[in-house]
Amino acid sequence: MNITKENTIAEIVSNKLGSDHVFSKYKIDFCCGGNMTLEAACKENKVDFEMLMQEIETINIKIGGEYNLKDMDISSLIEKVKEEYHNYLDENVSQITPISAKVAEVHGLENPEVIEINVLIKGIEIVVLEMLKNSNNTLFPTIEKILTLDNISADISENQIEIVKRTVKKSEIAHQLVSDTFKEISNLSSHYLVPEGACNSYRFLYQKLHELDHQLQKYIHFNTHVFLPKILKTCTQ
């Protein structure tokens, strides 16, 4: 696809592999802020559109060319979300919590922002793990059963539709909480800028938080603009 100023951020992330890294570089929100046009995003973040477009095209070609998530079927999308996002989140979120607690305990007096960050991380862990549980134990099994129906629009039950709508709504609420919390963490940490002379644990914490922030933005974009809309369309058409 050709990139224009009228394209939304979400459209670019869905179609241009690697564009998420470019948006992160310029601190452009591509998950909950994905409906903003490139023109508006560039103006808000004081980024030159032509430069942004060139960087997106360059990294897209380097990583692998055209790639459109919206062309994938629901079963393939479920496998993708499990392998690419859920496995990572399940392994990494809980690992960060004790590191955050250690840094807050050791450096909290000198750098009080790490105490606030530690409190926020505890909340993130609860929300993310519940979000994964909601998908793995309720949404995915329900969708997989629906996909076995001979005629989905005729055979799907009201209970199945209600389960899908309810779990999707829970996911949307969790996405917003996570996105807002990480914006606060990013601001508190001066966008993950490690203080001069910081210890290895401090550095590792900010490195992992920055990485987790990026992965969660990708996950939220994937759910908000690709996966959940396709599920709702399939189940309520």
User: What number is the average pLDDT over the span 163-180?
Assistant: 93
Q: According to the model, what pLDDT value does residue 166 have?
A: 94
Q: According to the model, what pLDDT value does residue 68 have?
A: 62
Q: What is the pLDDT of residues 46-63, one digit of tens each?
A: 999 999 988 888 887 766
pLDDT over 60 at 66, yes or no: no
Read off the tokens for 179: 């996105």
pLDDT over 80 at 27, yes or no: yes
93: confidence class by pLDDT, cuts 50, 70, 90: very high
Residues 6 or more apart from 21 whose CB is under 8 A from it?
59, 214
pTM: 0.75
Q: According to the model, what pLDDT value does residue 64 have?
A: 53
Read off the tokens for 236: 């309520």
Q: According to the model, what pLDDT value does residue 63 have?
A: 62
The count of C-alpha atoms lying within 13 angstroms of the C-alpha of 80, restricted to the half-sphere facing its C-beta, is 16
Q: According to the model, what pLDDT value does residue 59 have?
A: 81
User: What number is the average pLDDT over the span 97-102?
Assistant: 94
Read off the tokens for 169: 């709504």
Residues 6 or more apart from 212 whose CB is under 8 A from it?
92, 93, 96, 182
pLDDT over 60 at 45, yes or no: yes
DSSP letters, 144-191, are: HHHHT-SSHHHH--HHHHHHHHHHHHHHHHHHHHHHHHHHHHHHHTTT
30: confidence class by pLDDT, cuts 50, 70, 90: confident
